């Protein structure tokens, strides 16, 4: 049972599914890799944010123990946090 088609139609019959398979595979690969990168970056940002607030809580508890509650938390912590976040996200 052979199908008699002109050469041009045979080429189209074989090339279009092959091209769709290649492009579909490429898009799927890129999507999965980008998803993994996004999850990794999000976890790093969450870790940096958690560390920032852990430092603030620790400073506040030390200040409360020493009786220096009226003094504000140093802004250097916020600056350090912004610098770490900028390095992780690649933003300026």
pTM (two decimals): 0.54
Asked if the model's pLDDT at residue 43 lies above 90, the reply is yes
Percent of the chain whose predicted confidence (pLDDT) is above 90? 37
pLDDT digit string, tens, across residues 59-81: 777 777 766 555 455 555 566 66
Confirm if 45 and 85 have CB atoms less than 8 A apart. Answer: yes
pLDDT digit string, tens, across residues 14-36: 899 999 999 999 999 999 999 99
Give the separation between CA 42 and CA 36, rounded to whole angstroms: 10
Give the separation between CA 25 and CA 19, rounded to whole angstroms: 10
Length of the chain equals: 92
Give the separation between CA 82 and CA 3, rounded to whole angstroms: 67
C-alpha 33: how far from its chain's center?
10
């Amino acid at each position: 049972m052979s199908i008699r088609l002109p050469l041009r139609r045979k080429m189209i019959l074989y090339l279009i599914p092959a091209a769709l398979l290649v492009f579909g595979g490429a898009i799927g690969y890129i999507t999965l890799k980008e998803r993994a990168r996004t999850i990794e970056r999000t976890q790093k940002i969450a870790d940096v944010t958690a560390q920032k607030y852990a430092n603030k809580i620790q400073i506040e508890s030390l200040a409360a123990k020493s009786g220096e509650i009226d003094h504000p938390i140093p802004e250097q912590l916020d600056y350090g946090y912004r610098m770490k976040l900028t390095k992780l996200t690649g933003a300026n």
